[in-house]
Structure 1
Amino acid sequence: MAPVTDHEPRVVLSARGLGKDFGGFTAVNNVDLDVHHARIHALIGPNGAGKTTVFNLLTKFLQPTRGKITLLGTDITRTRPDKVARMGMVRSFQISAVFPHLTVLENVRVALQRPAELAVQFWQPLSALDRLNGRAEVLIEELGLTPYLNTRAADLSYGRKRVLEIATTLALDPEVLLLDEPMAGMGQEDVQMVAGIIREVARHRAVLMVEHNLNVVADICHQVTVLQRGEILAHGDYATVSTDPRVRTAYMGTEDA
């Protein structure tokens, strides 16, 4: 189980009164959320609960109809997604976003170009990226990918591809990492591997993840927010929310007599 501490670390990402309307339909309504440094926070709920919409609002892929979003003390409610990424919040996607025909090392080097200020220096020779090898190899080693350093991404197992994607997001050295269903489609062995990596990643940054695998949520997450019909149904540690009758009803589809 995720460890319990006597005090909570600082809030790095917060939302207050977050709402999103699509025409006459309210997809998200009055969501308050606090994500803490060095903690893993899960956003869960049944299908159609609004998890992905909240995720897209926080990462600015959607603009909120109502509410306020704060990142590291700065109001980002109307900030563009690319600027938010440069401010320290980076997301992954359900579908792997790596270059399949590049090696693990090459994928991470590409991701390191922006923080190394090489992203727009397109006139430089490919050898200019060689100076990124040291940082890339450290990042690769931290995520257990060293044996696959020169393996093409297309030849990795599905789980290793997701780990490589996490490595490319960590190349931006984010304070807040958002993971969209990181365990989707994985076998149990890969699930355990990736869960362990996420736990290590969260030692130095906040992680907010949308996840359907409740065993993983129970194992590694410090805080859980449960959504239903676009609103917060419950919040707390997993032991608290999993025993909430409203949560059990939402997941199991049964009503108390």
Structure 2
Amino acid sequence: MDAILETQGLSKQFLGFTAVGDVSLSVRRGSIHGLIGPNGAGKTTCFNLLTKFLPPTSGTIRFNGRDITRMKPAEVARLGLVRSFQISAVFPHLTVLENVRVALQRQRGGSFDFWRSDSVLRRFDARARDLLEDVGLTAFAQRAAGELPYGRKRALEIATTLALEPTMMLLDEPTAGMTAEDVDRIVTLVKRVAEGRTVLMVEHNLKVVEGLCDTITVLTRGRILAEGPYAEVSRNPEVIAAYLGTDPSITGAAAHG
């Protein structure tokens, strides 16, 4: 297996509490890999460790064969490991196009200068419009980002993530709080942007996970409980118990909840 991201014995403790414990994860290049688990399982902490927003207490992280355990967030982003956040992060008073253009300014060497002349910044417009088309936001290009419906804001965030030219995208709850229509739109979008990339995603909606993910890793109490294809993992008695209790009659709910 060609693994693009691997951890060995990854752990994080807070004042003696183990939020993530001895997690050894392997994400196959070109796959969509789901990280799931009940509330408090350690999923977001694990994401923060992988993208260096938290330092690990112990263990190692390798990306594309390179040890990134002690790197900073900006350094791993430059290597192509880029994340989104559970709460949509956009500049609300800038237009949708301007939000993507800000992300594209990274091509100037990482400087995000709002005071540059309009002509300098407009050289990013063509690429920004291409990215908006990729995520279905062309019609919203001149709208203030803060006016977008929630699902469209998440699509904008994915566009700004794509502007950083990631090799691997980490998506934290991309469908959280969405209507059914928005969920379907984001699922289609994730499938599209995953072409030629690797995606690791935290997601509570198991129906979304079932439709998107090649491999599922289940966390509970900061440790890996099970791993494999969705059909296999969703029938694991320990996984069912972790989500819903041990009554076998609710197996179907675990598989489709």
TM-score (ref. length: structure 2): 0.93
Paired position in structure 2 for 1:126? 118
Given that 2:210 and 2:230 are in contact with CA atoms closer than 8 Å, whether structure 1 keeps it comes out as yes
Equivalent residues in 2 for 1:15-26, closer than 5 Å: 15-26=7-18
More helix by share: 2
* Corresponding residue pairs, total: 248
Paired position in structure 2 for 1:94? 86
Paired position in structure 2 for 1:218? 210
Q: Counterpart of 2:40 in structure 1: which amino acid?
A: G
Cα pair distance change 1:67/1:242, threshold 3 Å: same
Paired position in structure 2 for 1:3? none
Structure 2 residue corresponding to 1:81, chosen from 56, 73, 76: 73
SS at structure 2 position matched to 1:94: coil
- Stretches of 4+ aligned residues off by more than 6 angstroms: none
Structure 1: unaligned runs, 5 residues or longer: 1-7
Paired position in structure 2 for 1:175? 167
Q: Counterpart of 1:74 in structure 2: which amino acid?
A: R
Cα pair distance change 1:30/1:136, threshold 3 Å: same
Structure 2: unaligned runs, 5 residues or longer: 249-257
| 2: CA distance, partners of 1:83 / 1:22 | 25
Structure 2 residue corresponding to 1:150, chosen from 124, 131, 142: 142
Cα pair distance change 1:166/1:28, threshold 3 Å: same
Quote the RMSD (CA, aligned, Å). Answer: 1.5
TM-score (ref. length: structure 1): 0.93
Report percent identity of matched pairs.
59
Structure 2 residue corresponding to 1:72, chosen from 64, 68, 75: 64
Deviation at 1:158, TM superposition (A): 0.6
Structure 2 residue corresponding to 1:197, chosen from 181, 185, 189: 189
Residue by residue over 1:60-80, the C-alpha shift from the partner in whole angstroms, topping out at 9 and shown as x without a partner, is: 111111111001111000001
| 2: CA distance, partners of 1:154 / 1:62 | 29
Paired position in structure 2 for 1:4? none
SS at structure 1 position matched to 2:91: coil
Higher relative contact order (CA 8 A, sep 6+): 1
Q: Counterpart of 1:100 in structure 2: which amino acid?
A: P
Given that 1:37 and 1:204 are in contact with CA atoms closer than 8 Å, whether structure 2 keeps it comes out as no
